[in-house]
Amino acid sequence: MMNIARIYIDESCHLENDKLPVMCVGGLFVEEKSWKELSDKMKQIKLEHHSPTELKWNKVSASRMTLYKSLIDFFFQQKDLRFSALLIKHKENIDNERYNNGDHNIFYYKAMFYLVRDFLNTHLYKVYMDIKDNRGKARLDMLSKVLCRVCGAGKYVHFQNIRSDESQFIQLADFFIGAIVYKQRQDIVKTNAVKNEIIEYIEHKSGYSITENTPPWEKKIKIWDFQLAK
């Protein structure tokens, strides 16, 4: 019997007209046999730091720095957890008219496809996506059709939208994606010392810049630097 794994997907700056120069989609991979135990351990870490609330990049604070570092340490210690992200730089260069039939959503699904395809190995997969708006079900349905058609219907056994406050793994994916986008943004003044310290700690633990390609053999935390030419 094949092993089953879960992929928890989140994204940032994915809308076509949000006027932001960067887009990132990311996924956290966890072995099915370990997800409940690892989720409970993450909850326990939060309780130990007196911070049981949802982990969100846009709400980081200096008072929770020891919590952030403990969760980052936890991620790197667990062999059944992996993270992968597709970082699209220069989003303004996306030519939807030429390559995507004039539909930005097609580019969005292409990015999701390449992200999820990177996890393919000997597993069967359950895919979970963060609900961000009322188009969540339509996006998930389309992604499921694309993946099943291209990669084989037998590889994916479950698709589901979930709220970020329901999943420790969606929250951790949001945290990592937020760090990647924050470092990449060239149009903001990066004066947030808390965010800078978190980014430096992630890069220290991984040994890589989070806004550049990681080596092809890297499995723990993989970054795809996807730059669009004009």
| Mean pLDDT of the 132-152 span | 71
What's the pLDDT at 16? 47
Could you count the other beta carbons within 10 Å of the beta carbon of residue 121? 10
Residues 163-210 pLDDT 10s? 899 999 999 999 999 999 999 886 676 789 999 999 999 999 999 999
The CATH number of the domain where 18 resides is what? 3.30.420.10
What's the pLDDT at 59? 94
| Mean pLDDT of the 143-172 span | 81
Q: Tell me what the pLDDT averaged over the chain comes to.
A: 83
- Between residues 9 and 137, which one has the greater pLDDT? 9
Residue 1 predicted with pLDDT over 80: no
| Mean pLDDT of the 221-226 span | 88
Residue 212 predicted with pLDDT over 80: yes
What's the pLDDT at 197? 96
Question: How many domains does the chain contain in total?
Answer: 1
Is the separation of the CB atoms in 223 and 202 below 8 Å? no
Residues 24-69 pLDDT 10s? 989 999 999 999 999 999 999 999 999 999 999 999 999 999 999 9
**Residues 6+ away with beta carbon under 8 Å from 129:** 8, 9, 10, 136, 139, 140, 143, 159, 160, 161, 162
| Mean pLDDT of the 156-165 span | 85
Q: Say which residue the tokens 């990177």 belong to.
A: 118
Domain holding 76, by residue range, is: 4-227
3-state secondary structure (DSSP) of residue 183: helix
Share of the chain above pLDDT 90, in %: 48
From residue 6, give the alpha-carbon distance in Å to each of 19, 107, 165, 184.
32, 24, 17, 28
Stretch among 5-9, 92-96, 151-155, 156-160 having the lowest mean pLDDT: 92-96
Residues 90-112 pLDDT 10s? 776 655 555 555 555 667 777 77
- Between residues 81 and 144, which one has the greater pLDDT? 81
Q: Say which residue the tokens 């597993």 belong to.
A: 123
**Helical segments of 1-119, H only:** 35-48, 65-77, 96-99, 104-117
